[in-house]
Amino acid sequence: MLAYITGIVLFALAILISVSLHEFGHMLTAKGFGMKVTRYFVGFGPTLWSFHKGETEYGVKGIPLGGFVKIVGMTPLEEDEEDLDEKDKQRVFWRKPLWQRTIVLAAGSVTHFIIGFIALWILVAFVGVTQNPAYAEQVTESEQNARVAVAPCVESTDTAAAAGDCPEGQIEGPAYAAGIEDGDAITSVGGTAVTDWESLVATVSGLTPDQPVAVTVDSDGTEKTTEVVPYAATVETEDGKTETVARLGVFVYTDPSIAPTVAVGPIDGIGETFSTTGDMFKETFIALGQLPSKIPPLWDAIMGGERDADSPVSVVGASRLGGEMVQYDQWAMFFMLLVVLNYFIGIFNLLPLLPMDGGHIAIAWYEKARSWVAARRGRPDPGRVDYMKLMPLTYAVIVLLGGFMLLTITADIVNPITIFN
């Protein structure tokens, strides 16, 4: 349990650091171009501690859910140029060249990409990775036999049976407790021969939970029989209903010889990291396009239905997964999840919608194009976009994102995704 809590804290802290570095990217580039930066804070709400260095106030606030940087003149709603002297008026954001403003606005996402790339390069070069954990699928060849991976802990309402370091609401996996190991092939259950994954599921589903059963496995050519006590698991049927069946606490085994985890070294790791990053970007865009279709299943999961393993997760759910990864000593998965998260945030933040940075970039380029067209027609420069006219659309985006975030947080609390089932 201590390792699980430590993992949650570490992952949440890593997210906070990533977001803080996102804002630092904005600040660093803004200062580099001579823009006037007045505030840089980690967190929101009441100020816990701060200090001034030059013209900028740095500090920490009481709610550690992000951070912000104040660049004077970033939007008309934030302007207060009357109090500036003539020298500083030339330093406000909107007076700077378009290319400089674009770099400053994109710097937050670029920071996430840099964090993700460096972490991924370290994994690829020195640790070795298989597939992206956010999109990986079980290797279908493993389903041609009954080779299994073993879950140390499984979801259960029988809290009295909790054992070991299992999180709250989980018990020690029956197969794990019986000494069955990853890669073992189950050949019979209760005297019934098992030849593949489907026959294993069918045979085990017919057992009675909490009643011991003899399970025979082939472990590297050595056959052994052990007694396993199945637990009661709730599964969803094809018609959308749920039923309680027996389970051993195993899942399809992914053969490491099919997807080897080989560290390729620092030089080859660069090319491999670029390749893997390209795949992740592609999958991220696909995931973004599929987000609307994920909302009904999320609602069903909140109402008691089965939670899809590929459903969206909130910061709460990601932190819980991080906690499980630390608990089971899966540090490579822990850092890979951080890579996925940083890439996703970086891409999502560049969408051309307010209040994301991509929305501000789109407006800046629209202003430039509109001014160019006006000049070609001999008309006066129409000036800056009226942000007040865009506020209804901005609020609509905020409401939609807030509702989606609330939905994922609720699902992650009442029906969380876990590594082992």
Domains parsed from the chain with CATH numbers? 1-36+72-136+269-421 (no CATH), 140-252 (2.30.42.10)
How buried is residue 284: exposed, middle or buried, by Cβ count under 10 Å (0-12/13-18/19+)? buried
Q: Which residues of the chain have pLDDT under 70?
A: 1, 75-84, 130-145, 157-164, 236-240, 254-262, 419-421
**What pTM was estimated for this model as a whole?**
0.71
Check residue 159 and give its pLDDT.
54
CB of 44 within 8 A of CB of 68?
yes
Question: Which residue's entry shows tokens 């709610």?
Answer: 63
CB-based contacts of 232, cutoff 8 Å, min separation 6: 156, 158, 209, 210, 244, 245, 246, 247
Q: For residue 16, what is the enclosing H or E element? A: helix 2-32
CB of 391 within 8 A of CB of 124?
no
Report how far Cα 276 is from the mean position of its chain's Cα atoms. Answer: 16
Lookup: tokens for 291: 């987000």
Check residue 358 and give its pLDDT.
94
53 beta partners: 56
Lookup: tokens for 131: 């597939």
Query: Among the residues of 227-348, which ranges form H helices?
Result: 266-302, 315-327, 331-348
Asked whether the CA dihedral 367, 369, 375, 378 is positive or negative, the reply is: negative
216 beta partners: 188, 225
Catalytic residue chosen out of the listed positions 23, 272, 324, 367: 23
Check residue 78 and give its pLDDT.
53
Lookup: tokens for 419: 């590594």
| E strand spans, 32-155 | 37-53, 56-71, 148-150, 153-155
Instruction: Report the b/e string of 133-159 with b at 16+ CB within 10 A.
Output: bbeeeebeebeebbbbbbbbbbbbeee
The 10s digit of each residue's pLDDT in 226-239 is 999 999 887 766 66
State the Cα–Cα distance between residues 121 and 134, nearest whole angstrom: 17
User: 316 φ, ψ to 5°?
Assistant: -65, -50
* Radius of gyration for the alpha carbons in the chain, expressed in angstroms and rounded: 26
Q: SS3 for 313?
A: coil
Lookup: tokens for 205: 């589903």
State the Cα–Cα distance between residues 75 and 98, nearest whole angstrom: 14
Query: C-alpha angle 318/323/324, rounded to 5°?
Result: 100
Q: Is 23 known to be catalytic?
A: yes
